[in-house]
Amino acid sequence: MWPESLHHQGSLKAYTTGNPLGRLELGKFTVQLLLGLHALHSRSLMHQDLKAENVFLTATLDLKIGDFGSLTKCTPVARFVGGDCSLGPCPPPRSSG
C-alpha cells in the first residue's frame, strides 16, 4: 500500500522512489505514457526531455506529461532508412549546458 502523501499530485519519480510498481500500475502507466507520446508525435512534436521527473501523477493516479520547455516541432517527412520508415528531419536534442 502506498503512503497517503503519494496519492496527491507529484512526479512519477517521487512516486516510484523506493517503491517498485506492481504489474497493474506498470501496465496502466505504460499505456498512458504511450498514448501521451502518440498524441505528441501525431502532431509532429517531440518532447526531448522525457524522464520520470517530467511525468506527473494526478490524485487518481493518471499520468500527465509535463515540462514542455524543450518541445520541438519536427517536419513530418516520411523516409525509408534500411527498410524502416521514420520521421525526419528532426533537430538534435538541445544541450543543457
In this predicted model, what pLDDT tens digit does every residue of 54-73 receive, in sequence order?
A: 898 888 888 888 888 787 88
Residue 78 to residue 40: CA distance in whole angstroms: 17
46: helix, strand or coil: strand
Domain spans of the chain, in order of start: 4-88
pLDDT score of 25: 92
- List residues with catalytic annotation: 49
Q: Please tell me the predicted confidence (pLDDT) of residue 91.
A: 55
Instruction: Please name the residues in contact with 72: beta carbons below 8 A apart, sequence gap of 6 or more.
Output: 45, 46, 48, 90, 91
Q: Which residue has the cell 501525431?
A: 42
Q: Which three cell numbers stand for residue 62?
A: 493518471
Pick the CATH number of 4-88 from 3.40.1000.10, 1.10.510.10, 1.10.10.60, 3.30.70.260: 1.10.510.10
Residues of the chain with pLDDT under 50: 1-7, 78-85
Q: How far is CA 45 from the centre of its chain?
A: 12
* pTM score: 0.66
Q: Count CB neighbours of 92 within 10 A.
A: 8
Backbone angles phi, psi at 22, to 5 degrees: -80, 170
